[in-house]
Amino acid sequence: MSGSSQAQQLAQGLDALGIPLDGVAQGKLLAYLALLAKWNKVYALTALRDQDKAVSHHLLDSLAILPFVDALAPANVLDVGSGGGQPGIPLAIARPSLAVTLLDSNSKKVAFLKQAAMELPLPGLSAQCLRVEAWQPEQKFAAITSRAFAEVADFVSLTRHLLAPGGRWLAMKGIYPQEELSRLPAGIVVEAVHPLAVPGVEGARHLVVLREE
């Protein structure tokens, strides 16, 4: 897909999602895609090989949760198992004032994430190469999100020590994860499950919002 058609697809997708972003932000989102495609030739950052789906599956799918992030107005966000940077990098581009931390245990992926933060540039973005259960940062997070890290119960259990008081987990899922939600640890409440309609992405998408009792 050419750069101009990607730009058109992005603009139309943002309009469909009801997310207004200026030209600078849209340009950075497309620059991020180009960087991801370049690095993906050497490192397996993402399983998606079809560049025609890059805008929908990398950018719009990540940004579909932005209204829910905005509603929480978190001081900071942690993206666990970030891989190639979704949803953290698109969120950081869309909201430059938001402090976004990307966490992954794969050093090659984290090298890419740090390069993206520097090249784009995204001063509010940082990346850590650690296993989530071993990480003990000084500051905890008001929102913790994940797109393809683990099932919901494991996601919550492994990151519970990282959530700030009153914080929320934002778990991005495909079909409604009924079975996964039945296995949640004690003291965890499902606050809401939001169906997401992502332009260009077939199949069900849901955002599960959780908190401690």
pLDDT of residue 54: 87
Q: Is residue 116's pLDDT more than 60?
A: yes
> 137 near 85, Cβ under 8 Å?
no
Q: What value does the mean pLDDT take over residues 134-144? A: 96
* Count of domains for the chain: 1
> 129 near 107, Cβ under 8 Å?
yes
The annotation status of 132 as a binding-site residue, yes or no, is: yes
Query: Residue 205: CB partners within 8 Å, gap ≥ 6?
Result: 61, 64, 172, 173, 174, 195, 196, 197, 198
The annotation status of 191 as a binding-site residue, yes or no, is: no
The annotation status of 81 as a binding-site residue, yes or no, is: yes
pLDDT of residue 4: 75
The annotation status of 205 as a binding-site residue, yes or no, is: no
Q: What value does the mean pLDDT take over residues 75-82? A: 96
The annotation status of 179 as a binding-site residue, yes or no, is: no
Q: What value does the mean pLDDT take over residues 101-121? A: 96
Q: What's 174's domain CATH number? A: 3.40.50.150
Q: Is residue 48's pLDDT more than 70?
A: no
Q: What value does the mean pLDDT take over residues 99-113? A: 96
Name the residue range of residue 121's domain.
3-212
pLDDT of residue 197: 94
Q: Is residue 44's pLDDT more than 80?
A: no
Alpha-carbon span 32 to 54, nearest angstrom: 11
Torsion sign, CA atoms 133, 156, 137, 97: positive
What are φ and ψ of residue 79, in 5° steps? -105, 110
